[in-house]
Chains A and B, each alone.
Chain A
């Protein structure tokens, strides 16, 4: 059973396109995290959300707690946005993470 489902698994976009990655989860959460992983392995935390919406530059993350759903949007996508984006939830039950399978994004110049 997957506590976190992400879609799409793979995404190819032209530079400048608006991109949306979706995450649905099935457990009560204390926080939802969006992570970015570039080739080579390093993971960076992009957002941590427990409600509403956050924006950093061209990245926007939203969460709907009632619907157990979050989206990550990238406006005006750029080749340097090419990476794997991972949704992770911290459940109410304790200090651990459930991870989505990741979305592999390729932005073509």
Chain B
């Protein structure tokens, strides 16, 4: 079974730009969660999607958004990038939510200059 894939793996953007990251879950998994990891804050929950619906969102500004498609693939978007958005963005998939085993993708390393 193929694992969780994330594209792109590395990205360099300029302040003020926007970025879209993609996550393809394991086949059959309907829940996709997104996380931000920085040296200062550690891992933080961004949002969770199940069957195209956002069920929960972490404490992040509205510049961070996401969506899930009918095939369970998910995208997250960050608009008006700030230097502090530089981070490793991880997604994870599971059968039905965070009370199930999570399978993480390799992450997208975003650098904002």
| A41-B88, A48-B100, A90-B99 known; A95+B106 contact, CB < 8 A | no
Residue B62 at the A interface, CB < 8 A? Answer: no
Interface digits, A72-109 against B, CB 8 Å rule (1 contact, 0 not)? 00000000000000101010001111111110000000
Contact A45 B31 (CB under 8 A): no
Tell me what chain B mostly uses at the interface: helix, strand, loop, or mixed.
strand
Complex CA–CA separation, A27 to B104 (angstroms): 24
Q: Cβ of A99 and Cβ of B43 under 8 Å apart?
A: yes
- Residues of A near any B CB (own CB < 8 A): 30-31, 33, 35, 41-45, 48, 50, 86, 88, 90, 94-102
| 19 intermolecular pairs with C-beta atoms under 8 Å apart | A33-B101, A35-B102, A41-B88, A41-B106, A42-B106, A48-B100, A86-B42, A90-B98, A95-B31, A95-B48, A95-B97, A96-B45, A96-B56, A96-B98, A97-B35, A98-B45, A100-B42, A101-B42, A102-B42
